[in-house]
Chains A and B, each alone.
Chain A
Amino acid sequence: MPPRRRAHAKAFGRRGPILVLVGLALAAGGCTYPTFGASHGADVQGQEIGKLYSGMFMAGLVVAAIVWGLIAWSVFRYRRKKHDNSIPRQFQEHIPLEITYTILPLVIVIIIFAFTVITENEVDAVSKRPAQTVDVTGYQWGWIFSYQNANGLTLRTQGAVRSFPAAKGYTADVYPQLVLPEGRPTKIVLRSADVVHEFYVHAFNFGRFAQPGVTNVFEFTPVQTGVFPAQCSEYCGLYHSEMLFSVRVVAYPRYESWLRYQEHHLNQIPKHYPLTQR
Chain B
Amino acid sequence: MTTLVTRPEAVVEPPEEAHGPSGLVKWITSTDHKVIGRSYTITAFLFFLVAGSMAIIIRTQLASPDNTIVSQHVYNELFTMHGSVMLYLFAGPFAFGGLANFIVPLQIGAPDMAFPRLNALSYWLYLSGGIIMLLGFVTTSGAADFGWVAYAPLSNSINTPGAGPDMWIVALVLTGFSAIFTGVNICATVFYLRAPGLTMFRMSIFTWNMLVTAILILIAFPVLTAALVMLWCDRHIGSHIFTVAGGGVPVLWQNLFWFFGHPEVYILALPYFGAVTDVLAVFSRKPVFGYKGMIFATIAIAALSTSVWAHHMFTTGTVLLPFFSIMSYLIAVPTGIKFFNWIGTMWRGSITFNTPMLFAVGFLVVFLFGGVTGIFLASPPVDFAMHDTYFVVAHFHEVLFGTVVFGGFSALTYWYPKYTGRMLNDFLGKISFWLMFIGFWVTFVPQYLLGEAGMPRRIAEYLPNMGWTTLNRVSTAGAYMLFLSVAVMLVNFVEAWRRPIPAGDNPWDAHTLEWATSSPPPHHNFYWIPPIRSERPVWDHYHPEHPVEREHPPRTGGDEVAAARSTARPDSRAQFGSAATARGSVNPEGPSHEPRAAGDPGDDHEGQS
Residues of A within 8 A of B (CB): 1, 5, 8, 12, 35-39, 46, 48-50, 52-53, 56-57, 60-61, 63-64, 67-68, 70-71, 74-75, 78-80, 84, 86-95, 97-98, 101-102, 104-106, 108-110, 112-113, 115-117, 119-120, 123-124, 140, 163, 172, 194-196, 198, 200, 202-203, 205-209, 211-214, 216, 229, 231-242, 244, 275-276
Contacts and interface: CB of A to CB of B under 8 A. Distances in A.
Interface stretch (B28-36, B342-350, B422-430, B567-575): B342-350
B605 to A, nearest CB: 30
B287 interface: yes
A246 to B, nearest CB: 11
B510 to A, nearest CB: 14
Residue with the highest number of chain B CB atoms closer than 10 Å, among A46, A70, A275: A70
A89 B372 CA distance: 32
B394 to A, nearest CB: 12
B118 interface: no
* Interface residue range, chain B: 35 or more
Contacts of B454: 39, 200, 202-203, 229
Nearest to B467: A276
A235 B351 CA distance: 47
B343 A52 contact: no
29 contacts: A12-B322, A36-B452, A38-B385, A38-B386, A39-B452, A80-B350, A80-B352, A87-B350, A88-B349, A91-B287, A91-B548, A92-B289, A93-B292, A94-B344, A95-B551, A98-B341, A102-B293, A105-B336, A115-B379, A116-B380, A119-B379, A120-B325, A202-B453, A205-B384, A209-B315, A209-B317, A213-B250, A237-B160, A241-B72
B115 interface: no
Nearest to A81: B350
Contacts, number: 279
Given A52-B381, A194-B159, A206-B384, A233 B456 contact: yes
Interface in B144-200: 146-147, 151, 153-154, 159-160
Interface string B213-237: 0000000000000000000000000
B313 to A, nearest CB: 8
Given A116-B325, A196-B250, A234-B388, A240 B459 contact: yes
A88 B285 contact: yes
Given A104-B336, A198-B388, 13 more contacts: A48-B381, A49-B381, A52-B381, A67-B339, A79-B351, A90-B546, A93-B290, A102-B333, A116-B379, A194-B153, A195-B151, A207-B387, A233-B388
B340 interface: yes
Contact of A106 (B285, B287, B322, B333): B333
Contacts of A194: 153, 159
Nearest to A239: B72
A123 B330 contact: no
Contacts of A244: 463
Given A74-B346, A106-B333, A241-B460, A213 B249 contact: yes
A93 B317 contact: no
Nearest to A275: B463
A233 B387 CA distance: 8
B388 A195 contact: no
Interface stretch (B257-265, B361-369, B412-420, B485-493): B361-369
B449 interface: yes
A133 B250 CA distance: 26
A195 B159 contact: yes
A80 B350 CA distance: 5
B284 interface: yes
A143 to B, nearest CB: 15
